[in-house]
Copies of this chain bind each other. A is one copy, B any other.
Amino acid sequence: MMPIDDPTPERLRRIPSRQLTQAAAHAHRIVAHRLADFRTHHYAVMAALDEAGPCSQAALGRMCRMDRSDIVTAVDDLAARGLVVRSPDETDRRRNTVSLTPEGSGMLRHLDEQVRLAQDDLFEPLSPEERAHLASLLGRVLEYHTHLDGTH
């Protein structure tokens, strides 16, 4: 049977914002597959805790660029699996202090490796230099817009 191709119109394919969202869809699919029964939110929260140390949920939300309510869900999930611990902050009783447990730390090392593998899946057609250049360009765009959000 003749395979139907119906190529994407050039008009759509060359819109940079569309390239971004399409590539991000592939990225999410690949990463989600590697993370198995974890969501990207879970990984982000654990990685932030590992780098910043125990901190409040609000701080986690600002670091991960996530809404506070989504932090609640993510921490609920991770705490149920014993990967983080939620404890009251004695110096400010509005806050919880979220900490990574040893189990969480071990799981994070595994997830780090899965995320690393996902990068290779995703950027396979690019050389190391090209990957670095892409990361640099995306980083400039991100810095610009996240700074805009912060000041506005």
Binding site for B on A (CB under 8 A): 3-28, 30-31, 40, 44, 47-48, 50-52, 59, 62-65, 115, 118-119, 122-126, 130-131, 133-135, 137-146, 150
Copies of this chain held together in the complex: 2
- A150 → B minimal CB distance (Å): 8
Asked if B122 and A16 sit within 8 Å, CB to CB, the answer is yes
**Which of the residues B4, B11, B28 comes within 8 Å of A21, measured between beta carbons?**
B28
* Contact of A133 (CB < 8 Å), options: B19, B124, B137, B144: B137
Instruction: Pick the residue among B22, B52, B118, B122 that contacts A65 (CB under 8 A).
Output: B22
A141 touching B119 in the complex, CB below 8 Å, given contacts A6-B59, A12-B64, A23-B20: no
A6 touches B135 (CB 8 A): no
